[in-house]
Amino acid sequence: MTKKLDILIIRSFIGPFIITFFVTLFVLVMQFFWLYMDELIGKGLGIWMIVQLLLYMSATLVPMALPLGILLASIMTFGNMGENFELVAIKASGISLLRFMRPLLLFITLIGGLAFLFNNNIIPVANLKALSLLYDLRNSKPTFNIRAGQFNNDIKDYSIRVGSKDKDGRTIYDIIIYNQTSGKGNDNVVLARKGEMKASPDKQFIIFSLEDGWRYEEGDDAKTGKQNNALTRMHFKKWDKVFDLSSFRLARTNEDLFKGAYQMMNVTQLGESIDSLEKVQKKLPVAIGNFIAPYVTYAGNEKERGLLLKKMETQKTGLRKYRNSFFELVNDTLHQKALELALSNVRNIKSQLDFPSFDSNIQNENYRKYQIEWHRKLTLSFACILLFLIGAPLGAIIRKGGLGMPLVIAIIFFVIFHITSVIGEKLAKGGAVPAWTGMWMSTLMLLPIAFLLINQARNDSQIFSREWYTRRWFGLLRLLSIKKTTG
């Protein structure tokens, strides 16, 4: 009997989970395209390029879509069973809610394990592909497009204007081409009454086949070579002007340049980077001591400090002490010189410490980022389990299936989870809290709520029942009316 119930609950969960996961993923991907739509439109992207970007970004958004899909599917599954009184029948047969949740908990734990493998092995590669491709697309030029009545400056050192175009998009009229390759301004101009635009077979060049036009060139005298700014005018019946379009092609950046980023590393690589940064941080105080050792006596190594103190203790005169100021031990004639020497030493120390301080800040920031990313690999798996522990008892309490109330409740809890996660990560990046505290903040905050909801579901709580609140409200009104009559 219990085995059949285990199979029943898993089958009831898988369908809503698959639907909600892919719907959530689709919404997140569309949100990404809306965010970058202005930068991608007009770039002449092919279908394959769009499909690539879609697949890579979909993979990177799985860590956000998976917990939300689990939360919504668990609420829907247990809500449907509660609405159809299946949970009541199961409890009446002596099977507790925790026993009924056990097969799904094991199933979600398996999904969490797979999510960790996906997050550790697939996400770094997807981030590398997606972010490098997005970088290239955002920095690529728009497609070459000539509009009638407007100057086009997309091709470097050329300004092109077309008076009008035929409906075929190829035949053009009243063409003006300013050639500025000489660097001396508009000293080379081409005017033509009519022409035709056509691309080369390999799409690397665009050819303007011009008819009935003039070429105006201003420059040195062609015969003497003297700089007399001579103006040359040449008429042509037909003339072809070829423009190179190679700059409009998408140039892919070497992906090796992005591999050092923390988003592109797995747990092992992140651990190695963290160890390396810890070693660098341990060496930094020694390096700083060596920088300021020539200016501060006690900034040397421990052995040198010990020898110096021992030498001073063995001196017959001992250490001289002053009451208010060091100048009490210095001749009046040497006060100004001592002050200038002290200021010079302070400036030198400051200049020596500026770079180590800057480098230390960068190293600490990178150290926190690597630690945050290391913990992120684990938080996804625990987020799946946590949101199931919240969603399952919630569904049993609200006893509503479908996408109405479950969707609202799921979004509320997911927004709380997401906001606390973002706040924790920001605090960890800023160094306000340790990395593990910031990354596990949302889990630690919501885990007690999950246990509270499980306890309420076991006791058949009616905190989400409208009838329960209605009865309490009318009961309160009756109580108030009784008090008035007796008063």
Q: Using one digit for the tens of pLDDT, what is the confidence trace for 124-183?
A: 888 888 877 777 666 555 555 677 877 877 777 788 888 888 877 778 888 888 887 777
Judge whether 145 lies within some domain: no
Q: Which residue among 248, 280, 308 closes a domain? A: 248
Judge whether 146 lies within some domain: no
Q: Does 257 have pLDDT greater than 80?
A: no
Q: Does 56 have pLDDT greater than 80?
A: yes
Q: What is the mean pLDDT of residues 406-414?
A: 79
350 in the same domain as 383: no
79 in the same domain as 19: yes
Judge whether 389 lies within some domain: yes
Judge whether 484 lies within some domain: no
Q: Which residue among 309, 329, 361 closes a domain? A: 361
pLDDT, one tens digit per residue, over 312-357 is: 565 555 555 656 676 666 777 777 887 888 888 888 878 877 777 7
346 in the same domain as 392: no
pLDDT of residue 129: 82
344 in the same domain as 278: yes
Q: Total domain count for the chain?
A: 3
158 in the same domain as 190: yes
Alpha-carbon distance of 134 to 57, in angstroms, equals 10
Global pTM?
A: 0.66
Q: What is the mean pLDDT of residues 256-276?
A: 80
Judge whether 305 lies within some domain: yes
pLDDT of residue 100: 78
168 in the same domain as 132: no
Q: Which residue among 205, 221, 248 closes a domain? A: 248
446 in the same domain as 393: yes
- How sure is the predictor about 258, in pLDDT bands with cuts at 50, 70 and 90? low
Q: Which is higher by pLDDT, 37 or 82? A: 82
Q: Does 300 have pLDDT greater than 60?
A: no
Judge whether 256 lies within some domain: no
221 in the same domain as 121: no
pLDDT, one tens digit per residue, over 434-468 is: 888 888 998 888 888 888 888 887 776 665 556 65
pLDDT of residue 483: 61
336 in the same domain as 224: no
158 in the same domain as 58: no
Q: What is the mean pLDDT of residues 206-211?
A: 85
Q: Does 39 have pLDDT greater than 70?
A: no
pLDDT of residue 296: 67
475 in the same domain as 394: yes
Judge whether 367 lies within some domain: no
Judge whether 77 lies within some domain: yes
Question: Containing domain of residue 465, as a range?
Answer: 2-140+373-479
398 in the same domain as 336: no
- How sure is the predictor about 110, in pLDDT bands with cuts at 50, 70 and 90? very high
Q: Does 482 have pLDDT greater than 80?
A: no
% pLDDT > 90, the chain: 1
